[in-house]
Amino acid sequence: MNSEPNSTLNPDTLPLPFCPGCGHGTILENLDQALIKLELKPEEAVIVTDIGCAGLSDKYFSTHAFHGLHGRSATYATGIKLARPELKVIVLVGDGGFGIGGHHFLNAARRNIGIKVLVFNNFNYGMTGGEHSVTTPPGALTSSTPKGNLEQPLDIVSSVGVNGANLAARTTVFEPDLSSMIARVLDYPGFCLVDIWEICTAYYGPQNRFNKTSLEETLQELNFGTGVLFKKDRQEFSRRYRESLVGEKDRREILQIQDLEPCCQSSLSEKKEVVIAGAAGAKIATAGSLFSQGAIYAGLQAAQRGNYPVTVKTGHSIAEVTLSPEEILSVEVEKPAVLIALFPEGFEKVQHLIARMDDQDLLILHEDLPEISTEAETWRLNYGKTGRWRRKDRYRALMAVGKYLQESSLYPLEALEEAVRLKPAYAEENLAALQASQKIEVLRR
Amino acid sequence: MTAFMDGNQAVALGALDAGCDFFAGYPITPATEILLHLSRVLPEVGGLVIQGEDEIASLGFCIGAAMSGRRAMTATSGPGISLYSENIGLAIMGEVPLVIVNVQRMGPATGAATTGAQGDTQFLRWSTSGGYPVIVLAPTTVKECYQLTLKAFQLAERFRVPVFLATDKETAQTKTSLELNRAADAAPERITAPPGELFYPLGMEELDQVPPMSPFGGPHILRFTTSSHDNEGYLTKDPEALDRLNRHLWEKIEQHKEEISLVETDLEDGAEHLILSYGISARSARAALKQARSAGTKVSLLTVHSLWPVPETAIRKALEGIRTVIVPELNLGQYTREIERLTNDNQQVIGVHRVDGGLISPDQILREGGLV
């Protein structure tokens, strides 16, 4: 072994540590031959190993090495390949590692990330005492199936093959030209895997009198083919990602934060809590944001907290806005000075807040909402004279906020208009809605 | 500049300004927006953002990329930290510079999705096997989300360890106005082994020193392993090598507690009460302090930004002359135990807790802390 001048095996760490007759050594020698054939230099390859006997392998190569956790080898390999597409990233994993990390291999195949996977498949856990694995054939005796395995073995090659692997193959350690098969897997672009069947001479072999002949019979019985069984020509993922998404823009330019330099003044001298209660999909959070940004333009501090269910397009949506001339420390509204309820879904959810309001507070209700007994001053909003805006649920909240600002001295309407202009795509309609809000009739009580 | 944003956006902005160029994550409320913000901007500036098939894969991608020279970050919430656990151990063992954001929500398990909490204070410190130290930072405001994200990247490079940013649902998803000064060229220096010289993964002279890195594809052959390893990165069970590795992983943090320590103090002469808090509850602590002082009570305040390692010197100093320490936190008493071990027999620790999904109010602190 390692007689070739270009061998990638590391003379300082040899010999290999495996049991006499174990297939692992054969696979590693053929991997070395494949790397020589492809003229890969040690610095151009990363060998990522999983856990178990196969996980010992990286030590014996002079390439880069990453020895990771059980079943997660495909994830580290994916991270390395994404970061350094020019590297040859080779995963060495046993049938145990493929079992625990199966999900990662399916997704690596689906993405077609260009990692090359060699499965050391000997149908049992050789390091922990010969327990059965996801690939153990039916009826087989293992230390954890003393009366024979009842489970169906996983077809590793088909699993990755039907899920997008660019190349998926099966072979055995008895294949005379194993190194050519490995070289083919290493050299083909995209996600490539070869499932290499072999014999564990410590456990699975002796327990099942399993030899070359029975291995070949098992392949026949399961109807598992050998050779390259899946082949596609999809673009490799790390290259595809770069070509499709990666740009060269300047970090300082990419994310422009809008500067809300104050343009006018507010009369507010102490903290004020305002709640807008509405329905999902009715732009309640947007109205809360615009109201807050307007307040900031008027020189105030603002905080906006949302309250909504886990669903998206149903149920309530509530915006809790706290405004203050000073830093806002508590963001949870306790007793709103102003509560604007516009839809039944939100109205129902703020009854406890309405109950805390007194005659110093203001309750603003849409005309359609039911009567409620409260000590707070109450305004009823009638949108009847706003023309086409009357039935536009998505503008109801912004218009209510606009009307409130027109009728109160909290801060000038122009500050809210300034906030609306922050999003040019929506500015025109929102400004028109604010204009129309002047026609909302307020019934005071 | 005056900005209006929430904590998740501030974290994303901090990552961008800190030179983050790799992010992988899996959607989870209330952390998802960090993935969404960075998906929009990082690829545009040459970075990569990928949504993993689960949290385990996401952190695995980050670790692979970080060891290939990227500045990596991930973000999740409590259930995701549970899934990260094993890879956090790997990152400690392999000395991977990483930033992990935990936008806390109420647990255990899925909890009351999605309700804020500070229930992961001890979990973040002890989330993986072996008990080796990590660094945990906790912002109290949106502005600090930005600042401490920069700090987290700096500490990750300095100590080659996972650095957690522990925010919470309320800080992450409440938009606030803030005065923001964006840091220019905030990317921390990465200490790499010089080309042309021999490289050893554990190539430091003193146990508390941090060895320089050399990435996959770089000028040296890198041997990375999740197992106990010797100077050259080979698996070992040699007692001397094990002792050196394990003490190194411990000492590089524990010997540098003072360097990591980040607190804000507002101490009052003659005060016998100290409010000690962190994260979202520290905001109410500040409000309670104002109220207590305006009512004529002498009170001191200590806000802890670096939860782990515990900034013991700063806490001990703040405890001088104090009779009662009031510790508000959104759990049933986690950081209190760190304070209890630093107090003497004449000092009483009063935990102020809330686990019904609401926030601790300044009134609750004053009332339960005996300040009214």
Among A75, A329, A332, the residue with its CB nearest the CB of B358 is A332
**Dihedral over Cα of A219, A222, A223, A228: its sign:** negative
Do the Cβ atoms of A254 and B45 come within 8 Å? yes
For residue A378, the surrounding DSSP H or E stretch is: strand A377-382
- What value does the mean pLDDT take over residues A282-311? 95
Do the Cβ atoms of B216 and A107 come within 8 Å? no
Do the Cβ atoms of B175 and A292 come within 8 Å? yes
- What value does the mean pLDDT take over residues A324-348? 95
- Whether chain A has a CB inside 8 Å of the CB on B293: the answer is no
Q: Which of residues 22-81 of A touch B (CB under 8 A)?
A: 42-43, 46, 56, 58-59, 62-69, 72, 74-81
Q: Which of residues 333-362 of B touch A (CB under 8 A)?
A: 358-359, 361-362
- What value does the mean pLDDT take over residues A159-181? 98
Q: What is the pLDDT of residue A172?
A: 98
Do the Cβ atoms of A305 and B170 come within 8 Å? yes
Under the banding of pLDDT at 50, 70 and 90, the label for residue A1 is low
The answer, yes or no, to whether residue A170 has pLDDT greater than 60, is yes
Do the Cβ atoms of B175 and A296 come within 8 Å? no
- What number of other Cβ atoms are within 10 A of residue A427's Cβ? 14
A-chain residue closest to B53, CA distance: A107
* B327: Cα within 13 Å, side-chain hemisphere: 21
3-state SS of chain B?
CEEEECHHHHHHHHHHHCCCCEEEECCCCCCHHHHHHHHHHCHHHCCEEEECCCHHHHHHHHHHHHCCCCCEEEEECHHHHHHHHHHHHHHHHHCCCEEEEEEEECCCCCCCCCCECCCCHHHHHCCCCCCCCCEEECCCCHHHHHHHHHHHHHHHHHHCCEEEEEEEHHHHHCEEEEECCCCCCCCCCCCECCCCCCCCCCCCCCCCCCCCECCCCCCCCCEEECCCECCCCCECCCHHHHHHHHHHHHHHHHCCHHHHCCEEEECCCCCCEEEEECCCHHHHHHHHHHHHHHCCCCEEEEEECEEECCCHHHHHHHCCCCCEEEEEECCCCCCHHHHHCCCCCCCEEEEEECCCCCCCCHHHHHHHCCCC
- Nearest CA-CA partner of B102 in B126, B86, B129, B84: B84
Q: What is the pLDDT of residue B112?
A: 87
Q: How far is A131 from chain B (nearest CA, A)?
A: 23
Strand intervals (E) in A64-191: 64-67, 88-94, 115-121, 124-125, 131-132, 167-172
Q: How far is A412 from chain B (nearest CA, A)?
A: 18
* A9: Cα within 13 Å, side-chain hemisphere: 22
Among A81, A107, A292, the residue with its CB nearest the CB of B4 is A292
Show residues of chain A in contact with B365, CB under 8 Å: none
Say if strands A45-49 and A88-94 run parallel, antiparallel, or are unpaired.
parallel
Q: What is the mean pLDDT of chain B?
A: 97
Integer Cα distance of A309 and B231 in angstroms: 53
Chain centre to alpha carbon of residue A153: 30
Integer Cα distance of A302 and B3 in angstroms: 10
Do the Cβ atoms of A67 and B234 come within 8 Å? no
Tokens 């947007």, residue?
A286
A-chain residue closest to B23, CA distance: A79
What single DSSP character describes residue A321? Answer: E
Tokens 């005309």, residue?
A367
Q: What is the pLDDT of residue B113?
A: 83
- What value does the mean pLDDT take over residues B107-116? 91
Q: What is the pLDDT of residue A310?
A: 82
- Nearest CA-CA partner of A383 in A363, A403, A412, A407: A403
Contacts of B185 (CB under 8 A, 6+ apart): none
Integer angstrom CA distances of residue A410 from A174, A266, A361, A405: 84, 6, 14, 6
Work out the percent of chain B whose per-residue pLDDT is above 70. 100
B7 and B174 Cβ atoms separated by less than 8 Å? yes
The answer, yes or no, to whether residue B68 has pLDDT greater than 90, is yes
Integer Cα distance of A183 and A33 in angstroms: 8
B235 forms beta bridges with B229
Q: What is the pLDDT of residue A331?
A: 86
B361 and A332 Cβ atoms separated by less than 8 Å? yes
B225 and B92 Cβ atoms separated by less than 8 Å? no
Do the Cβ atoms of B53 and A104 come within 8 Å? yes
- Whether chain B has a CB inside 8 Å of the CB on A251: the answer is yes
Say if strands A64-67 and A45-49 run parallel, antiparallel, or are unpaired.
parallel
Question: What are the start-end ranges of the H helices in A122-194?
Answer: 156-162, 178-187
- Nearest CA-CA partner of B63 in B89, B31, B98, B35: B98
Q: What is the pLDDT of residue B206?
A: 96
Tens digits of residue pLDDT in B291-300? 999 999 999 9
Asked which of A406-420, B91-105, B179-193 is least confident by mean pLDDT, the reply is B179-193
Do the Cβ atoms of B45 and A248 come within 8 Å? yes
Tokens representing residue B158 in the block: 């300095």
The answer, yes or no, to whether residue B5 has pLDDT greater than 60, is yes
* A365: Cα within 13 Å, side-chain hemisphere: 23
A-chain residue closest to B362, CA distance: A330
B5 forms beta bridges with B176
Q: What is the pLDDT of residue A3?
A: 57
The answer, yes or no, to whether residue B223 has pLDDT greater than 60, is yes
Work out the percent of chain A whose per-residue pLDDT is above 70. 99
Integer Cα distance of B228 and A364 in angstroms: 66
Under the banding of pLDDT at 50, 70 and 90, the label for residue A146 is very high
Q: How far is B20 from chain A (nearest CA, A)?
A: 10
Integer Cα distance of B163 and B147 in angstroms: 14
Q: How far is A253 from chain B (nearest CA, A)?
A: 9
Q: What is the pLDDT of residue B182?
A: 92
Tokens 């096997």, residue?
B129
- What value does the mean pLDDT take over residues B100-129? 95
- Whether chain A has a CB inside 8 Å of the CB on B231: the answer is no
Q: What is the pLDDT of residue A5?
A: 79
Show residues of chain B in contact with A69, CB under 8 Å: 86-87, 90, 226
Q: What is the pLDDT of residue A412?
A: 97
